[in-house]
Amino acid sequence: MVSMKNYKLFRWFYTSSGKLVVGGKNAEQNDELLKEITNSSKNYFVMHTSHPGSPFSVIISDMLKVTKKDFKECAIFTGCFSRAWKERKKKTEVHLFNSENLSKKRGMKTGTWGVSAKISEIKVDLELVLVKQKKVYRAVPEISTKKSDILLKICPGNVDKSKSLDRFKKELKDVELDRDEILSALPAGGVRICKK
């Protein structure tokens, strides 16, 4: 099993069933993550959007224990942290792979991997909720958490996330809000606070 001791350096969240999902923040991290996964003796479920500009997200769990709900949660997470969010789309399509079907050939661009077989496609809405996981702010799929734990609902928007910090501080009633923590929790691009 991959330990992913440094998973907090990546994009990450825990599914409702407690499984860790880890995704790359950029092309270099996608490579780093997939190299670790494909070099391990285990096989994992991996997701990426149907278009470029997406994290590769990996469900760090025994494949037999992964549920349909875990797939849906990981797919929403992958879609929301892709270019589709930046482009303010409402939906996107995510592809599911088996890590043993991924390969990296010499000359391939950083972050680009070959895929010999796709398992399925999942269409997802681009919406997340802000919660605390492991005592830090995380933007996660709404179905991953209890209603009582939801702090804010967020959607793709026009205002860049770095310019929305004061609004987040006010909405979260958190005067000590760590700028880097909240920025690292949110997708790249514009963010809009939606109604809960």
Cβ density class 6-28: b for 16+ within 10 Å, e for less? ebeebbbbbbbeebbbbbbeebe
- Provide the pLDDT for residue 196: 60
End-to-end CA distance of the chain: 37
Highest-scoring range by mean pLDDT, 49-58, 75-84, 167-176: 75-84
| pLDDT tens digits along 175-195 | 788 989 999 999 999 999 986
Which residue in 152, 157, 134, 132 sits closest to 195, CA to CA? Answer: 152
Write out pLDDT tens, residues 71-115.
999 999 999 999 999 999 999 999 999 999 999 988 889 988 988
DSSP state of 187: P
pLDDT in tens, 134-166: 999 999 999 999 999 999 999 999 999 989 888
C-alpha 130/C-alpha 140 separation (Å) is 6
Alpha helix (H) residue ranges in 40-133: 68-80, 83-86
